[in-house]
Amino acid sequence: MNVVDLALVSATLTASAPVVFAALGGLLCQTAGVFNMALEGQLLWGAFSGVLFSHLTGSAWLGVVGAVVTTAVYALALSVPAVAFRADPVVVAVGVNLLALGLTAFLMRVLLGAGGVYTSPDLPGLPTFAKLGLDVPVLGPQSPLVPLAPLLVAVTAWWLARTRSGLRLRGVGGHPEAALSLGLGADRYRHVAVLGAGALCGLGGAQLALGNVTLFSEGMSAGRGWVAVVAVMLGGAWPWPVLAACLLFGAAEAFGFRLQGLGLPQQAADAAPYVITLLALVVAAATRGRRRLLEAS
Amino acid sequence: MPAVELVGITKRFGDVVANDGIDLSIETGEIHAVVGENGAGKSTLMSVMYGVHQPDAGHVLRDGVRLRMRSPADAIAAGLGMVHQRLRLFPGLTVAENVVIGAEPTRRGVLDTAAASREVERLGELYGLRADPAARVGTLPVGVRQRVEILRALYRRARVLILDEPTAVLTPGEAARLFEVLRGVTGEGVSVVLVTHKLGEVLAASNRVTVLRGGRVTGRFATAETTAQELVVAMIGRSLAPRPLAPPGERAAGPYLLEVENVRVRGGEGPARVGGVSFGVRRGEIVGIAGVAGSGQRELLDVVTGLRTPDEGRVLLAGAPVRRGRDPRVAYVPEDRPGRATAPTMSLADNLLMGGQRERRFSRAAVRERARALVERFGVRAASLDEPISVLSGGNAQKAVLARELSGDRPLVVVEEPTQGVDVGAQEQIHALLAQARDEGRAVLLQSSELSELRALADRILVMFEGAIVAELSAEEAGEDRLGAAMTGAAG
């Protein structure tokens, strides 16, 4: 069995897609000057609400829409205290993450009547390109949300660099006092960034629960939101480096999965992405110097 | 008709009346200096003019029309532009982006970067404010950054420029260039409001002067018809005593008390912060250190005081190495008053004790007794020994630090920026204290960005540039031009 092939590339894209969406949200917030550590909880909420709305409507696409809308609403739990009332975003984020864990477990029992894991043959998942009758190389077994993730990174990179609102977002995050003296209030941009991050986490969660698999299980985001936070820091909140960091994580996960097939213990395979993330942080710290990394955070 | 007129501006913060019925009129095309000590109300008045604060009484007229000012956006719309002392620039953005942000040129919804760059170049050409539009502001020297902020105001069609202490961060050469630019700008019919406490600048650059003290106007002068003496009287309500300084004529002789030998400090990255510096300071002399901010002075003084271990070289005090941490033979007055020199939330008495807290003779009562004596001897004005030191004015807090450091008999005195954020009256006393320390036979090492301060106090001036001492000038040789040239690396 060949260890590296196109299937591995495909698996890397699958594994990284939810992280890319979440990291893109984190990047927007970082650019606007809000440290968004609540990606994990929002990703989990996105996964749950995606499954819930797919179950209720019988359409995976309406599930995606439901996830995007409700996760953006859920993001108000971060944006209102942290932006409007100047609470410490780290403290608020801890609350948002813990709330998501409890709330999804509770609502799963109440609304889906299942504990631990919910899955059903009647639960519609996202279609793959193959199922849609499209012959796309590499992406055949993927949902259309998978290529959407890097596409949105490209759009974001262009938007930040080349549009009026993108420039202003960068300014507001870089020096809010200066922005205010030019008549640009930071709060509006920050609210939009945090809610936009919520919507993106909704997309990521929906891909995780309706694309990568078709089920919801308690705590299924499993640290991907934290990896996204790290990716934002590693990439210095620049779109392309952040994408690269996410792909590194995805590759580690896919590779670990592959090695498991070759007899590596499952625990080691599961740990691989996080070990890689940790190593990347250490290497980045060593090469760029401690100060640069702190500035990026 | 004046370009801008402030009429009867009164602004209170709680019980404090920062501005009390101030009238100020700025004519078209003039440079109008607003001077006063710290706390005189200059900053508040400018904030009112720029729409940051709304006055409790009074109003602002622009070309005779009363303005409604709810925020700086209204002031910008009315043709006012402000260059803040702490520049309001975005370090991560380019020069062009910094200039146009908030009023960006676009083409079909997309930023027109080319048009922004052209505009920066055109304005730069017109007013003599050259800056590379594509450069990232964070990489530029501070003098150029200030030009960017002026360009931004002009881009937004400011007809009245307010500059708050613009030369505080500049070298003498950069300051001279700034005033050239300002004269050019006024030639185009723009008015300039220059807020400063440096009387030399006022006399050299302005057309008219308004003096504030205690929130009121205490003098209005045409610059050509006034003198520094007259301005000082209006600023502090009395004239300064003649300088009490001993002439630096009687040159100290004898061995060096402080010997710095080939000290080298490497930074995290890039070239060494301090590259092989050697010098000495004798008892009974003040040695000045000049240089543009960031030339290695901070690192060098950290080594001298024992706060930092040099990568190479050594520092000897009376023949013995300085002790790491805090050497008890060194009196040290750091620049960073709230961060290093004081514990802002602790009381004045506790701050005066610091460093002596382990001495057994200090009971609670003895601490207060000593504090009372020091406050009296050094002329610190404070309502109580128990209030936190942070409520004191800059001048009184600095005098308290000097009282603590100079009260013993430490032979070496290291002082950084002793009069930064200190009013004119206290400056005079602080200078006298340093001269007294010298006359007592201590060795004084004085780092300052105020060249007039160095020239008035120092027997010798060492000029640092990019981590090296590039010139050593005697008090007589150290004219502003020679100092300024050495500070920018041109051989003095």
Q: Which of A170, A177, A183 sits opposite B102 (nearest CB)?
A: A183
- Which pLDDT belongs to residue B49? 94
Q: Which residue has the higher pLDDT, B422 or A16?
A: A16
Tokens, residue B248: 């630096």
Q: Confirm if A162 and B110 have CB atoms less than 8 A apart.
A: yes
Q: Which residue has the higher pLDDT, B69 or B273?
A: B69
Residue B469 one-letter amino acid: I
Q: How many CB pairs under 8 A join A and B?
A: 65
Work out the pLDDT band at B251, boundaries 50, 70, 90: low
Tokens, residue A91: 């403290």
**Optimal mutation site among B47, B49, B71, B90, interface A, most CBs of chain A within 10 A:** B90
B interface residues, A as partner, C-beta within 8 Å: 52, 71-73, 76, 82, 84, 88-93, 97, 101-102, 104, 106, 109-111, 113, 268-269
Closest residue of A to B88, CA-based? A178
Is B35 among the domain residues?
A: yes
Q: Give the separation between CA B169 and CA B5, rounded to whole angstroms.
A: 29
Task: Using a pLDDT cut of 70, give the percent of chain B over it.
Answer: 95
Closest residue of A to B113, CA-based? A162
Give Cα A157 distance to the centre of its chain.
17
Separation in Å, CA of B101 to nearest CA in chain A: 7
Q: Confirm if B93 and B101 have CB atoms less than 8 A apart.
A: yes
Phi, psi of B60 (to 5 degrees): -115, 130
Note whether B80 and B158 are same-domain residues: yes
Residues of B in contact with A290 (CB under 8 A): 268
Note whether B309 and B442 are same-domain residues: yes
Of B381, B386, B350, nearest to B367 (Cα)?
A: B350
Largest CA distance in chain A: 63
Inform me whether the pLDDT recorded for B128 exceeds 60: yes
Tokens, residue A169: 């977002």
Highest mean pLDDT among A86-100, A246-260, B275-289, B342-356: A86-100
Inform me whether the pLDDT recorded for B37 exceeds 80: no
CATH assignment of the domain containing B354: 3.40.50.300
Note whether B226 and B163 are same-domain residues: yes
Separation in Å, CA of A296 to nearest CA in chain B: 12
Q: Which residues are CB-neighbours of B21 under 8 A, at least 6 positions away? A: B8, B9, B10, B57, B58, B216
Note whether B187 and B316 are same-domain residues: no
Separation in Å, CA of B399 to nearest CA in chain A: 32
Note whether B332 and B430 are same-domain residues: yes
Which of B178, B201, B236 finishes a domain?
Answer: B236
Is B245 among the domain residues?
A: no
Is B117 among the domain residues?
A: yes
Of A43, A8, A22, A74, nearest to A220 (Cα)?
A: A43
Is B251 among the domain residues?
A: no
Inform me whether the pLDDT recorded for B246 exceeds 60: no
Note whether B376 and B422 are same-domain residues: yes
Q: Confirm if B442 and B414 have CB atoms less than 8 A apart.
A: no
pLDDT tens column, B182-217: 998 898 899 999 998 778 888 888 999 999 988 899
Inform me whether the pLDDT recorded for B22 exceeds 80: yes
Q: Would the CB atoms of B88 and A167 count as touching at under 8 Å? A: no
Note whether B372 and B275 are same-domain residues: yes
Tokens, residue A24: 């893109």
Q: Would the CB atoms of B101 and A177 count as touching at under 8 Å? A: no
Phi, psi of B8 (to 5 degrees): 55, 45
- Please list the residues that pair with B60 across neighbouring strands: B6
Is B189 among the domain residues?
A: yes
Q: Would the CB atoms of A162 and B76 count as touching at under 8 Å? A: no
What is the average pLDDT across B408-413?
A: 90
Residue indicated by tokens 């801008």: B4
Of B393, B38, B380, nearest to B236 (Cα)?
A: B38
Which of B176, B208, B236 finishes a domain?
Answer: B236
Inform me whether the pLDDT recorded for B241 exceeds 80: no
Question: The dihedral of CA B66, B71, B77, B78: what is its sign?
Answer: positive
Report the 3 state secondary structure along chain B: CCCEEEEEEEEEECCEEEEEEEEEEECCCCEEEEECCCCCCHHHHHHHHCCCCCCCEEEEEECCEECCCCCHHHHHHCCEEEECCCCCCCCCCEHHHHHHCCCCCEECCEECHHHHHHHHHHHHHHHCCCCCCCCEHHHCCHHHHHHHHHHHHHHCCCCEEEEECCCCCCCHHHHHHHHHHHHHHHHCCCEEEEEECCHHHHHHHCCEEEEEECCEEEEEEEHHHCCHHHHHHHHHCCCCCCCCCCCCCCCCCCCEEEEEEEEEECCCCCCCCEEEEEEEEECCEEEEEECCCCCCHHHHHHHHCCCCCCCEEEEEECCEECCCCCCCCEEEECCCHHHHHCCCCCEHHHHHHCCCCCCCCCCHHHHHHHHHHHHHHHCCCCCCCCCEHHHCCHHHHHHHHHHHHHCCCCCEEEEECCCCCCCHHHHHHHHHHHHHHHHCCCEEEEECCCHHHHHHHCCEEEEEECCEEEEEEECCCCCHHHHHHHHCCCCC
Domain boundaries, chain A: 17-236
Q: How many domains does chain B have?
A: 2
Q: Give the separation between CA B330 and CA B399, rounded to whole angstroms.
A: 17
Is B26 among the domain residues?
A: yes
- Which pLDDT belongs to residue B249? 47
Phi, psi of B284 (to 5 degrees): 80, 20
Q: Which residue has the higher pLDDT, A92 or B244?
A: A92
- What are the Cα distances from residue B255, in Å, to B261, B317, B474? 15, 11, 18
Q: Give the separation between CA B305 and CA B323, rounded to whole angstroms.
A: 8
When mean pLDDT is compared across A162-171, B29-38, B165-174, the lowest value belongs to: B165-174
Is B80 among the domain residues?
A: yes
Note whether B295 and B379 are same-domain residues: yes
Of B459, B423, B453, B422, nearest to B438 (Cα)?
A: B459
Buried b / exposed e along B31-69 (16+ C-beta atoms within 10 A):
bbbbbbbebbbbbbbbbbbbbbbebeebebbbeeeebeb
Work out the pLDDT band at B492, boundaries 50, 70, 90: very low
Mean pLDDT by 10 residues, chain A (297 residues): 73 93 97 95 97 95 97 97 93 96 95 91 90 79 92 96 93 86 86 97 97 94 93 92 92 84 82 82 71 43
Note whether B267 and B401 are same-domain residues: yes
Q: Give the separation between CA B318 and CA B303, rounded to whole angstroms.
A: 16
Q: Which range of residues forms the domain containing residue B295?
A: 256-487
Is B244 among the domain residues?
A: no
Inform me whether the pLDDT recorded for B283 exceeds 70: yes
Q: Which residue has the higher pLDDT, A1 or B367?
A: B367
- Which pLDDT belongs to residue A144? 92
Work out the pLDDT band at B173, boundaries 50, 70, 90: confident
**Residue A177 at interface with chain B, using a CB cutoff of 8 Å:** yes
Q: Which residue has the higher pLDDT, B266 or A100?
A: A100
- Which pLDDT belongs to residue B62? 93
Q: Confirm if A23 and A82 have CB atoms less than 8 A apart.
A: no
ipTM, two decimals, is 0.81
**Residue A133 at interface with chain B, using a CB cutoff of 8 Å:** no
Residues of A in contact with B269 (CB under 8 A): 289
pLDDT tens column, B143-156: 788 889 999 999 99
Whole-model pTM: value is 0.70
Q: Give the separation between CA B367 and CA B356, rounded to whole angstroms.
A: 10
Beta-carbon count within 10 A of B171 CB? 23
